[in-house]
Amino acid sequence: MELLLIKKRSLISDDNSDRKRKKQEHEVVIEQSKYGDGMAWFRGCLIGKGCFGSVFMANLKKPKSRYTSYYPPIMAVKSAEVSVSSSIQKEREVLNNIRGCRNVIRCFGEEITNGENNQMVYNLLLEYGSGGTLADLIKKSGGFGLPESDAKRYTRSILRGLRHIHHCGYVHCDLKPDNILLVCSSDDGCFTAKIGDFGLAKRAKQSKSVGYRRGTPMYFSPEVVIDGVQEAPSDIWAIGCVLLEMLTGKPPWDSRPETDGDEVLSRIGENNESPCVPATVSREGRSFLKGCFSRKAMYRWTAEMLLAHPFLEGVGDDEDDDRKDEEPEVLDINAISSSMMSESEDDEISYSSFSDGYEDELYFWSEEEDDDGIENEMSSCFSVEESLQAERSTSTPLNEVHQYPISFTISGV
């Protein structure tokens, strides 16, 4: 009797799974027909969906056509009806202004397609992250986090992209593992972390909107919560949150699933808390996070300074990677709008105290006691930044608020 019941439950479970799969497939088909195909590409499976629209895989219709010089064989296409596509169009504008860095997701253009009922659909063609997102990778660790060597490598890549973004005069405002894509490197088969999703990005020192904060509360810095200020230092706080999440496999505030945004905002703003750093994190790692988690934005390290931190020492070759940063866009069709192509398809035509999380050991850092120490600690790293500024006479780093001498050497946390 028990065996029959088990078999019956198994059949019911299989039947429910089959129905769920068929329903999902049907929904994908509906989504695909809703947005239509492009002139040179067809819409594949749905890989993401949000309030902005939907993201699909896209494949070239004819891999050996003239469009292979513009498009890669596989792309990600972010789509929304034209009438509600302002966020995606804003992302297109930002991506066009920050081109030229291998650690920022590349954009291959835009196109208007006709969806069902002849509705006009705006499509943004982006680099496809075949490795998924950093959030996916952290989730696979089962709450144990990534090896520190991997966390260092990904952090370095993200910082390189962020340094470029800041030098171009932008603030990302929504750095988190979900917005870091892992793209396969053609050189060694490893994955490179690239910053994506610029729908909430803003220009530096742009006037703030009262009561409006961009991004995700879990990764907000104190000045964002208290004063509504989002500039380059707020991205650096978010970098610390991302690194901490990689190392621990848990959210930066080690929050419960039911924790809401208001509770996190209260801890950051009213309670003056900072995320806890476990003792399992190396000494250099704790020092690096200290540079990210200064509650005073003026004492927070810049991307340039963090790239010179001993925590990232030995991760790749700086000189070689600097050359790669300036590599030209392989598919430079940003000046071309696919919707304007006249050829027919037949012509072949995308985060003060440090607590270790254990009861027997705590690390404390008081900024009131340490302000002078930070200024004295933080002049060697600025020498790195100043020398690079001299080379980049045409670009101005966002963190020029740190014009007083700040230099940093490693000290015990």
Catalytic residue IDs: 174
Max Cα-Cα span within the chain: 82
Q: What is the rounded CA–CA span in Å between residue 289 and residue 275? A: 10
Rg (CA), the chain: 23
Asked whether 232 and 364 are in contact (CB, 8 A), the reply is no
What distance lies between CA 45 and its chain's CA centroid? 22
